[in-house]
Every structure is written in C-alpha cells, then in structure tokens.
Amino acid sequence: MDSFQEVLFKLKNYWSQRGAIVQEAYDLEVGAGTMAPETFLRVLGPKPYRVAYVQPSRRPADGRYGENPNRLYKHWQLQVILKPSPADVIDQYLASLEAIGIDLGKHDIKFEEDNWESPTLGAWGIGWQVMLDGLEITQFTYFQQCGGIDLDLVPAELTYGLERLTAFLQGKDSVYDIEWAPGVSYGDVRLADEVQFSVYNFEMADLATLWKLFGLHEKECQRLLDAYKDYPDKRRFPVLPAYDQVLKCSHLFNLLDSRGAISVTERVAMIGRVRKLALGAAQCWMDQSGAEALQ
C-alpha cells in the first residue's frame, strides 16, 4: 500500500516519462491548479507544452475546522497539462492509474459529462469527471478558451484529487487517516492547518483589511497592465508579476465571499473586476509571446 507521498512520486514520475516537465507548486494562494501561471498562461498561444505539478489549492469556503472527513480548506491537486492533447490521452491517463497500483480490470471506471467553467478567468472547457467505483477521482478537461482567448492548440487538463485517490487506495474513510509517509498520517501533517485557517477565514480575518488589500492588489495590477502599451522592450515587461496580483485578488475575493461579506450586486461586479485583470494579463502574455516569436 502506497503512502500519500509515494502516490505523488509515482504520478510525477509517470508523467515525466511521458515528456512532461515536472514543476513544483506555484508559491501563491490559488483556488485550483488551473490558476497557476503554468496552466493559465502556458495554455495560450501556439507553443506545445507538457507539465505536471502538485498544487495545494485553497478554498476558504470549504474549510470545516478539520471536522469533516472529506472536506478541506486546502487540498492537493496533481495538475497535468498536455498541450496539444495526444490522440491516446485517455489511454495514457488510465495507464497512470495502473501505475499507482489500481488494477483497472477489477474496477469500474466511468466518464461522466462535466464541463468546466471559470467566469473569473474567462476560461472554459469540455470534459468529464472520472468516476472510479462511484468516486470522483479526476477532472478531465479539454480547454477551449482561457482569458477570453480561443486556444490555438487544445490542451488536455488532468486534475487528480490526491487525497481522495489515496484514501481510495488505502481504504480510508477520513482523509485525516491517510498515511502521508510511513507512520505519519495526513492529520499529523495538516490538521492544525485546517483548524487554524478555518478559524481565521470564518471568524478572525479583518474584513476591512481584506477589502483594502483587494483594492491595493487590483490597483497595482491595473497600473502594470496599463503600462504595457508604451513599454519599449516588450520582452522585459513584467506580465508574470501582474498576473500574481490577479491571483492575490482572486484569493481575497474567495476569503470575503466565504465570510458572506459580498452582497449580490457586489459579487457580480467583483467577479467582473477580477476577470478584467485576468483577461488583461492573458492579452499581454499573448502579445508578448508574439513579440518574442518575431525576434
């Protein structure tokens, strides 16, 4: 029986053998692996790319003080991007499950329609949730649009829910009982994290500060995006730092939302504000890549 980290090693290894760059997680708060620049920006444009990374994903509203056996404020996703998607992408995916010890001949696999959409990122795709014996283990998406831009090459995005997958492999009912490493449980490693962030997110975060931070990051992002047009050497322009500001805004929005601090009208407007920044960053990235290609 593999530990949590063993499952992680095996999957990274599997995809590295299939030509993927293995990256580490992005070092800012994100709600999903999709938001990391390795996905959001790299799927744009005509350049093929393959990457795999484990992204801790923070969703303040899903925090349960460590009391719910299946729901986490922060969970680990293995994110794989295959751009363009190979014709045998599903076979490759299924073989990755074999690689972590799932004998598919003895299990039930179904692909159930589940199209993914993120209004905040101006992104959507077509795909499935992959069900293993009734458990959703992976979100499989063919991206169609990102940052409001039609994609030149259609990437396949595979998002493995690592806690669920490992709980399945280890036959555990609670994620906290998963063995992370021999003799160390998931709860040993992460329970304090879940409790404290639930307390902070739901009870102690200062709303006025969060609003202020949102405004500051938004302003900084917009200032950079506005500067792009007249910046002389496009290649040097800090698009990536601008996108970091988008991620900050997105996370702050999630925090405020989890507190119920955003009214209906504000909510729509806030999503629009983050979306505007995300689309702006995507446009700059595209333009910059085009400028680079010409050199």
Partner 1 sequence: MSLPFLLEIGTEEIPDWMIAPALLHLQSLFQELLDQNRLSASSLKTDGTPRRLILHAEGLPARQADSEELVSGPPKAAAFKDGQPTGAALGFARKMGVEVSALEVQATARGEYVCFRKKTVGRQTRDILAALLPDLILKIYFPKTMYWTGKGGPRFIRPIRWLVALLGDEVVPFEVAGVCSGDRTYGHRLLGGKELQVNSLNYEQILKENFVLVSPAQRRARIEAGIAALGVKVKPDPALLDTLVYITEYPTPILGSFDPEFLKLPEEVLVTVMRHHQKYFSVEDAEGRLAPQFVAVMNTNADPEGLVRRGNERVLRARFNDARFFWNVDQHKKLADRVADLAHVTFQTKLGSYLDKTKRVAKLVRRLGGSSHAVRAAELCKCDLTTEMVKELTELQGVMGGLYARAQGEPEEVWRAIYEHYKPASMEDSIPATPAGRLVALADKLDTLQGCFRVGLVPSGSRDPFALRRAAQGVVKILVEGKLVLPLGRLIGRDAALAEFFLDRLRYYFKDVRGFCYDEVNAVLAAGWDDLTDVESRLAAIRAVRPTENFEPLAASFKRIKNILRQAEIQVGQAVPPAIDAALLEPGPEADLFSAFARLRSRVKRFRKKKEYQAALEAIASLRPRVDLFFDKVLVNAPDSQIRQNRLTLLHNLLKESSAIADFSEIVTSQ
* Binding-site ranges for partner 1 (CB under 8 A): 67-71, 84-85, 87, 90, 94, 104-113, 115, 125-126, 128, 132-135, 142, 144, 150-154, 168, 171, 173, 260, 262-265, 267-268
- Find tokens 């304090």 and name the residue: 192
End-to-end CA distance of the chain: 52
Amino acid at 225: L
Q: Which is nearer to partner 1, 133 or 226 (CB)?
A: 133
Of 138, 139, 109, 114, nearest in space to 126 by CA: 114
CB nearer partner 1, residue 69 or residue 187? 69
Cβ atoms within 10 Å, residue 236: 8
Query: CB of 175: closest distance to partner 1 in angstroms?
Result: 10
Q: Which is nearer to partner 1, 16 or 70 (CB)?
A: 70
Q: How far is the CB of 184 from partner 1 (least distance, A)?
A: 23
Would you say 18 or 172 has its CB closer to partner 1?
172
8 A C-beta contact, residue 8 and residue 2: no
* CA dist., res. 239 & res. 277, Å (int): 11
**How would you label 92-118 residue by residue, b for 16+ Cβ within 10 Å and e otherwise?**
bbeebbeebebeeeeeeeeeeeeebeb
With beta carbons less than 8 A apart as the criterion, state whether 139 and 93 touch.
Answer: no
User: Minimum CB separation from partner 1 for residue 145, in Å?
Assistant: 10
Whole-number minimum distance, CB 232 to partner 1, in Å? 31
* Shortest distance, position 95 Cβ to partner 1, whole Å: 11
Q: Which is nearer to partner 1, 28 or 64 (CB)?
A: 64
Cα angle: 63, vertex 254, 196; to 5 degrees: 35
Strand partners, 156: 82, 142
Shortest distance (Å) from residue 219 CB to partner 1: 25
